[in-house]
Chain A
Amino acid sequence: MILGFTVVLVGVAVLAGLLCIVLGLAGKAPADLTVLSLVVVEVLLLAQIVMALVAPAVGNAMTGNPAEFWLYLITAAIIPPLAVVWALTDRSRWSTVVLGVGALAVAVMAYRMHQIWTVQLG
Chain B
Amino acid sequence: MPAATPTTSGIGRVLVAVYGVLALAATGRSVFQIIDRFDEAPVAFLLSALAGVVYIVATLALAFGWRRVALATICFELAGVLIIGTLSLLVPGADVGSADPRDRTATVWSAYGLGYLLVPLVLPVLGLLWLRRRPAASGA
Contact = CB atoms under 8 A, between A and B. Distances in A.
Interface of A: 65, 67-68, 71, 75, 79, 83, 86, 89-90, 92, 94-95, 97-98, 101-102, 105, 108-109, 115, 119-120
Contacts of B102: 115, 119-120
A71 B32 CA distance: 8
Contact of B13 (A71, A79, A95, A109): A95
A75 B1 CA distance: 20
19 contacts: A67-B32, A67-B35, A71-B29, A75-B24, A86-B1, A89-B1, A90-B13, A92-B9, A94-B9, A98-B13, A98-B17, A101-B14, A101-B18, A102-B17, A105-B25, A115-B102, A119-B102, A120-B102, A120-B104
Interface string B1-30: 100000001110110011001001100110
B13 A68 contact: no
B33 to A, nearest CB: 9
B117 interface: yes
